[in-house]
A and B are shown apart, each in its own frame.
Chain A
């Protein structure tokens, strides 16, 4: 019992730490006390500003000068790697009992070197908890420090942040920001002290106040816009946000005051999107008359609101060929019948030449209403958009289900999209059939109005290609009939 000789029996010791995060100092004192066999219940650890210990034989004013002198032959004090790692973090906790707890564990560690492995031990567990909340606080500091840029007198940019950590982590975590922003001049101000980096050296400063930090930064406008835009109102999960970004951090986050209005508007935004995309549950029309009636009342896309009439197909139910154009034109809208204008007449000529009887086919359009803009007194044709074609597929599909053609001839890209639901290139798709899901064949060629817009050699060339496409369809029809 050499060590005990230096310790007065029943004496109580108070150790005054120079700084609340001074782990190295604690480590040195704790080593000395263990060597002198001072049990944990005889030591108080007092951080600056902390109250003194009533039982201490040494008053706080006298500091820890009269701690027992180390024995002449000190035995080594041992601690596991895990203890050191955990203790380094736990020492930064704001709990005043942390140093006593750590000493207690260090004391027990001398008898049981593997005590840190026993996670079910209440003291081990408590120290692990302290370390965990310090790590979490440090992680949140890495995440939620927000720098604001100010220009110094010498014209260089200086990035300054105000942050309020829960624990004494500022000095320890300054190195993280040094590694990340090594070539930037920055300062982090907190109520527990401040750190400053000028690109070469780190300087520590006294505790700061919020007013010492700059009040704004023009880039915050962009950041707030980004924050509001990246939020998906259809996935509102406020609890998940709060567990990771508790409200206590909000006051120093430039984006946080947007949160209430984002949450408040979310449901309405989602409902509006769902409503806009909604199609009522409808029963598909079973006869061509129902299609005609339904299409006339359809207001699913804006074209229907132009004051035109719906022009649905004509021809026999059970026709083997269905010809699909793009949309009714000026004359078709007036007459209420498909393909009666100039393009229709050209189509008729070609059909006659190819030997296809239009009266035996079912002729219709991908879009049922005429889309146009006014140019003076004339209604100028406008191509329907992909969305409008997709919306109108409801009627086209209904017509095809009723007529049940063996072959569908799509005139132009809009008609092809109406049949397939996706855009194909006419020049690539023409000349060979595309199998539709019910076994019918889709043949794609150009729209006759395309031929009307060409002249000279190009027209002759395209007309020949068009004629060849029609011939191929006629032959295929004959094959299928045969």
Chain B
């Protein structure tokens, strides 16, 4: 076969990497290139340098080192039995690409993952080598996210955390049965063991930094993971439960949900269909409810319908409010922050504004309207100085009133 050009390799290995949802570059330690030899800065907030027509941000150069893989996971485009074209970067090629893109302000940094070649350890060492060259030889101070391979030795994974801002290990599927069926070479306890060790290292390094100013940082942007939605039969209750366990046990910064999307040369085991994007969106909303709105996982699960899935036509917060109408209406002038956060249509920003503003005036409905995005959605669930929803909150057809109108299709 003819030698592949750098461009061909980039096309293959970027195509192979696009099923990893994460592209975050935020929440890491602040650093900049002043006084250094190279380029790069991270200032807390990530920057999305471009958006693809799939609506996803492009913040990092997200590629695989190679898409050769000895594993055979049915959902994965790079599995051993797939007939996709294969390619392989040398660590130096990845370094050059990253720096060339970074200097032109295309990216915030690098998100490097890889298919498993030869052995887990060998592959992990190659990933770490890329990060080492960037950090040590080029004094690169941008963002690096390394995917770690749970089967690799703890020592190599430790090295990865020293160079990277964030490390991640994908749990892939919400249930053990799903993992056994669709990713026969992976093992849940091995994945969780590696996550546990990473968590311990992160805590240890933070503790060291408190006592010794120059102690090395270990993955300052923490660790994250990804779950595929819609490849196995797990319902939303199972997925939410798994996510909250992961947040609790391993101190994860983020759990990403990736709607299983059609891939070229798919496995005969997994039927292809349109990716459940709306379901993925509802799961992210429920994730937000748990992380920022004080909902317990059980409460989010209460919002699901009989089949254990969240309703698709309305968001999970509204679904919860419609089920627990006794908690409403909430008085915007008196209610505690926790109660206000439960009102559908009020986000964390709006709640903060209401609490600040009500120290100065008793809020009327018009005032609330100025503080929120849409008053129509909020109205049935709040009381203000000049507003009581009276019968509105108790109406049987409230859901129909608040759900987005279904569109009548035109004859074509």
Which listed residue (A117, A238, A262, A274) contacts B55, Cβ 8 A? Answer: A238
| Listed residue (B63, B81, B269, B363) with the most chain A CB atoms within 10 angstroms of its CB | B81
| Listed residue (A142, A143, A145) with the most chain B CB atoms within 10 angstroms of its CB | A143
Q: Does A136 contact B (CB under 8 A)?
A: no
Q: Does B199 contact A (CB under 8 A)?
A: no
On whether the beta carbons of B18 and A277 are closer than 8 Å, the reply is no
On whether the beta carbons of A230 and B101 are closer than 8 Å, the reply is no
Q: How far is the CA of A340 from the CA of B363 in the complex (A)?
A: 89
Query: What B residues does A145 contact at CB under 8 A?
Result: 105
- A139 with B47, Cβ < 8 A, contacts A118-B361, A182-B33, A226-B61 known: yes
Query: What A residues does B83 contact at CB under 8 A?
Result: 385, 387
- Name which of A50-58, A146-154, A442-450, A469-477 contacts chain B: A146-154
Q: Does A161 contact B (CB under 8 A)?
A: yes
- Name which of B8-16, B145-153, B201-209, B400-408 contacts chain A: B8-16
On whether the beta carbons of B52 and A230 are closer than 8 Å, the reply is yes
Which listed residue (A120, A223, A244, A277) contacts B357, Cβ 8 A? Answer: A120
Chain B, residues 24-60, CB within 8 Å of chain A (1/0): the string is: 0000000011111111110101011111111111100
On whether the beta carbons of A146 and B48 are closer than 8 Å, the reply is no
On whether the beta carbons of B35 and A182 are closer than 8 Å, the reply is yes
Look across to chain A and name the residue whose beta carbon is closest to the beta carbon of B31: A179
Q: How far is the CA of A221 from the CA of B11 in the complex (A)?
A: 11
- A184 with B39, Cβ < 8 A, contacts A222-B10, A259-B53, A422-B72 known: yes
On whether the beta carbons of B6 and A273 are closer than 8 Å, the reply is no
Which listed residue (A115, A120, A149, A277) contacts B271, Cβ 8 A? Answer: A277
* CB-CB contacts below 8 Å: A374-418 with B: 385-387, 390-391, 393-394
- Name which of B166-174, B260-268, B302-310 contacts chain A: B260-268
| Listed residue (B14, B43, B82) with the most chain A CB atoms within 10 angstroms of its CB | B14
On whether the beta carbons of B371 and A393 are closer than 8 Å, the reply is no
Q: Does A111 contact B (CB under 8 A)?
A: no
* CB-CB contacts below 8 Å: A285-333 with B: none
On whether the beta carbons of B10 and A119 are closer than 8 Å, the reply is no
Query: What B residues does A279 contact at CB under 8 A?
Result: 268, 271
Dominant secondary structure of chain A at its interface with chain B: helix
On whether the beta carbons of A118 and B356 are closer than 8 Å, the reply is yes
On whether the beta carbons of A120 and B370 are closer than 8 Å, the reply is yes
On whether the beta carbons of B262 and A241 are closer than 8 Å, the reply is no
Query: Closest Cβ of chain B: how far from A99's Cβ, in Å?
Result: 24
- A241 with B51, Cβ < 8 A, contacts A229-B15, A274-B273 known: yes
Query: What B residues does A222 contact at CB under 8 A?
Result: 6-7, 10, 97, 100-101
Q: Please, how many residues of chain B have a CB less than 8 angstroms from a CB on the other chain?
A: 79
Query: What B residues does A231 contact at CB under 8 A?
Result: 18, 52-54
Look across to chain B and name the residue whose beta carbon is closest to the beta carbon of A226: B14
| Listed residue (B14, B18, B49, B53) with the most chain A CB atoms within 10 angstroms of its CB | B53
* CB-CB contacts below 8 Å: A244-277 with B: 244-245, 253, 255, 259, 262-263, 266, 270, 273-274, 276-277
Query: What B residues does A147 contact at CB under 8 A?
Result: 103-105
Q: How far is the CA of A480 from the CA of B262 in the complex (A)?
A: 44
Look across to chain A and name the residue whose beta carbon is closest to the beta carbon of B19: A232
Query: What B residues does A149 contact at CB under 8 A?
Result: 103-104
Query: What A residues does B51 contact at CB under 8 A?
Result: 240-241, 244-245
* CB-CB contacts below 8 Å: A189-241 with B: 217, 219, 221-223, 225-241
Query: What B residues does A121 contact at CB under 8 A?
Result: 360
Which listed residue (B11, B53, B54) contacts A225, Cβ 8 A? Answer: B11
Our count of residue pairs bridging A and B at CB distance below 8 angstroms stands at 222
Q: Does B272 contact A (CB under 8 A)?
A: yes
Query: What A residues does B40 contact at CB under 8 A?
Result: 180
Q: How far is the CA of A465 from the CA of B235 in the complex (A)?
A: 46
Query: Closest Cβ of chain A: how far from B47's Cβ, in Å?
Result: 5
Query: Closest Cβ of chain B: how far from A408's Cβ, in Å?
Result: 18
Q: Does B377 contact A (CB under 8 A)?
A: no
Query: Closest Cβ of chain A: how far from B4's Cβ, in Å?
Result: 13
Query: What A residues does B266 contact at CB under 8 A?
Result: 273, 276-277
* CB-CB contacts below 8 Å: A99-154 with B: 114-115, 117-122, 125, 139, 142-149
Q: Does B259 contact A (CB under 8 A)?
A: yes
Which listed residue (A115, A183, A228) contacts B33, Cβ 8 A? Answer: A183
On whether the beta carbons of A232 and B54 are closer than 8 Å, the reply is yes
On whether the beta carbons of B32 and A180 are closer than 8 Å, the reply is yes
On whether the beta carbons of B57 and A421 are closer than 8 Å, the reply is no
Q: How far is the CA of A115 from the CA of B58 in the complex (A)?
A: 40
Which listed residue (A125, A180, A277) contacts B370, Cβ 8 A? Answer: A125
| Listed residue (B72, B106, B360) with the most chain A CB atoms within 10 angstroms of its CB | B106
In the complex, the 8 A-B pairs of residues with the closest C-beta atoms, listed nearest first: A240-B55, A386-B81, A237-B55, A422-B184, A277-B266, A277-B272, A179-B32, A229-B14
Task: Give A contacts to B, CB under 8 Å.
Answer: 114-115, 117-122, 125, 139, 142-149, 159, 161, 176-184, 217, 219, 221-223, 225-241, 244-245, 253, 255, 259, 262-263, 266, 270, 273-274, 276-279, 385-387, 390-391, 393-394, 420-423
Known pairs A182-B34, A221-B7; list 7 more (Cβ under 8 Å).
Answer: A125-B370, A176-B41, A225-B10, A237-B54, A238-B55, A270-B262, A387-B81
